[in-house]
Structure 1
Amino acid sequence: MPDTNHRAPHRSRLHRTVTGCLLAAALAGCSGEPPQRPAASPSPAPSASRTPSTAPGGEPAAARFTADPERIPRSPAQAEELTDRVALQPPDWGADFTAERKARSAPRTVAVLDVDCRWQRRSLPPGVLASLSTYARRPGTDGKGPLRVTSVVTVHTTEVGADQELNDTLEQSMRCPEQQISTDERTGELQSAATPFGTRGQIWADDQVVEQGTYVTSDGALPYSWTIARIGTVTLAVSTRAGRGYTPQELMELAGEPLAVMGERVKARTGREG
């Protein structure tokens, strides 16, 4: 059993780092400046992240995570095992969260935004080994409405394929500023921003995209956020759909800890042992 007391301080620091990066990206997304992102490295290329670099001011750059080629999922079975272990469960969000009636996505499917800006579950496309979404909610309390959350873990065959998923997220908010997510729910006013590794203090993932907007139901327009990050061939995402009384910043802060937890799990299961 892991020594949780020993790990807690590290998780807290990572949580603060991830939350700070989410907020920085969200603010950048409101600036109106187009996001700039480098292309993904040829895949698989775990050794590329070992290239020495220097941060502004002459300080050594933060070490970039390097996956162990022997531990990267290569088959659907290996990928499904990873998604099961990495995806968030209700307690990962907080003690007062419970699973939605539909707690998990259908096996061997992935969410796709179609040409009519509607989200659909489709069979896994070529280049995707596994994908899992989990759903939870927190009831309304202390004058605030209920909160609905989602985590998504997707394992690609290559880093280039995983990077394309983040590119798609940026493109989708421009192509479809309003998106239908169910019969009576949609998101709108979407803006997105990218923070590649080393940009605005983002040193925990190879790349990250934050999308913010509104979540529209019969109750009106409420804050919504979606964050997706890439660590090697794995993408991690969390979405938060707020009830009344929540601010966009609260959603960013809420997403920080769960996203950090998933990032730790990926690195623990694909990094070099010892």
Structure 2
Amino acid sequence: MALTLLLTACTGATGDAESDGASGTENRDAPQGSGPSSGADSGNAPSADAPNRIDPDPARLPKTRAAALDLIGRVIAGPDSFGPGVVARTPYESGPATWPVLGADCVWRQQPPGGQVLATVTRSFEVPAEAGKGPLRLAAVVTVHRTRQDAAREMAESIEESMRCPTQQLREGERIGSLVAGALLGGEANQTNSEDLLSETGEYRSAELGGPHPYAWQQAQILQATVAVTGKGAKGRTAREVDALITEAQAAMLVRLEDAVEKQS
């Protein structure tokens, strides 16, 4: 059954940045988790109550940080994944050893990733400013967990964060609010691209870019991996424009992820 949450928040001023947390987030910003490899293939096997979208090859499912990073490199979006006009920002790719965590005060902070994460990488992009339009900021994140259950837990926590914090501070001078969030399992409402899909829309306010501007985020899960894309608008940018860009990149990453882990004929 689809879960749809309508969350109306107070608006807040401020913002700029690349590090946004998990829901309302743009990134599981940073990166590679450490820890011993998991030998538990059973953790990646589809459970009885979850849709089995693909037939994975156990040998192609990452069990080490190195294997997870290799998978991420083959899946994560580049500028072309969004379509024409999108360029890389600087810094382009997140560094290791940090993970965004939403505090009780609804402020995102960077902390070391938990042991359930094999690796996570974020890339930052933008559609540059042009006549009458400000820069449209984008980010793509791929996270590989040790097990499918760990990935499902991340998805559940992300939707809970939207409920708990309908207004969130992404970083100093940057906020999102008036959030509307929803979730669809695979097979619900023609959602066939992933096992689970989360989406969030709202208002983005930035000390640099003003606001409110359109904000959108999507995160999807396949097996032990999650992929997410965020778009933050600016003057002259429409919600439809933001949504089209993140949907295009999300679809591209899900296709690559499925190709990378399913059995080869």
Could you state the TM-score of these two structures normalised by the residue count of structure 1? 0.77
Aligned partner of 1:200 in structure 2 is 189
Residue 121 (structure 2) pairs with residue 149 (structure 1):
no
Q: Deviations over 1:46-78 (max 9, x none)?
A: 485998xxxxxxxxxxx7222211110000110
Aligned partner of 2:89 in structure 1 is 100
Shift of 1:87: 1.4
Looking at structure 1, the residues matched to 181 and 110 of structure 2 have their Cα atoms a distance apart, in angstroms, of 23
8 Å CA contact 2:143–2:225 kept in 1: the answer is: yes
Percent identity of paired positions between Structure 1 and Structure 2: 35
Shift of 1:116: 2.1
Counterpart of 1:124 in 2: which secondary structure? Answer: coil
Looking at structure 2, the residues matched to 239 and 68 of structure 1 have their Cα atoms a distance apart, in angstroms, of 30
Paired amino acid for 1:138: V
Counterpart of 1:269 in 2: which secondary structure? Answer: helix
8 Å CA contact 1:111–1:121 kept in 2: the answer is: yes
Shift of 1:29: 4.8
Paired amino acid for 2:71: L
More helix by share: 1
Counterpart of 1:195 in 2: which secondary structure? Answer: strand
Aligned partner of 2:101 in structure 1 is 112
- 2:245 alignment partner, one of 247, 254, 273: 254
Shift of 1:152: 0.5
Q: 1:49 to 1:66 in 2, by over 3 A?
A: farther
Could you state the TM-score of these two structures normalised by the residue count of structure 2? 0.79
**Residues 112-191 of structure 1: matches in 2 within 5 Å?**
112-141=101-130, 143-191=132-180
Counterpart of 1:70 in 2: which secondary structure? Answer: helix
Counterpart of 1:268 in 2: which secondary structure? Answer: helix
8 Å CA contact 2:162–2:179 kept in 1: the answer is: yes
Paired amino acid for 1:130: A
Shift of 1:168: 1.1
Greater relative contact order: 1 or 2 (C-alpha under 8 angstroms, separation 6 or more)? 2
Aligned partner of 1:4 in structure 2 is none
**Residues 233-248 of structure 1: matches in 2 within 5 Å?**
233-248=224-239
Long gaps (5+) in structure 1: 1-24, 33-41, 52-62
Aligned pairs, number = 229
Counterpart of 1:236 in 2: which secondary structure? Answer: strand
Q: 1:108 to 1:68 in 2, by over 3 A?
A: farther
